[in-house]
Amino acid sequence: MAYKFERLEVWQLAMEYLDLIYAIADRLPRSEEFNLKSQIVRAATSIQLNIAEGSTTQSNPEQARFIGLALRSLIETVACLHQIHRRKFLDDPTPLREAYRFSEKLFAKLQAFRNALVSDQITAVREEAGVYETNPYTPF
């Protein structure tokens, strides 16, 4: 592996998550081709792209900013999973459950990575990080 991002566990997990999302997107109705299907795939793709792009930065704060963008894209995919479930686009919700559980793992890893990047920074004003906990509840 020649590039820094290829060695990052969060990037590898993001690639696995993208595979799960593609599998779900491929099962969506044709009527969602240019709407929900496109949106969830673009958001999932954005996760791993932001991790990769951030890894080339020269500073931890800049890399942390890209990880923050990856987190936002991850949350966007979770919102899409809810829409897919709500609209009953899949007969079997198992892939949604699997993706949701995987998203929790990826979210925790991204949060930890971002926190590690910013933990050694000295700033005058810092926003408190949101507390996100995983729980056994899966909405699908």
The DSSP output letter for 131 is P
* pLDDT higher than threshold 80 for residue 69: yes
Cα separation, 47 vs 73, in Å, equals 6
Q: What are phi and psi of 96, to 5 degrees?
A: -65, -45
How does pLDDT run across 49-61, given as a tens digit for each residue? 999 999 998 899 9
- Any domain includes 29: yes
* pLDDT higher than threshold 60 for residue 125: no
| Domain span at 63 | 4-118
The whole-number pLDDT of residue 136 equals 64
* 130 vs 57, higher pLDDT: 57
The whole-number pLDDT of residue 18 equals 98
* pLDDT higher than threshold 70 for residue 110: yes
- Any domain includes 140: no
**CATH code at position 58:** 1.20.1440.60
Q: Which helix or strand (DSSP H or E) is residue 72 part of?
A: helix 60-86
- Any domain includes 100: yes
- What is the average pLDDT across 33-42? 97
The count of domains in the chain is 1
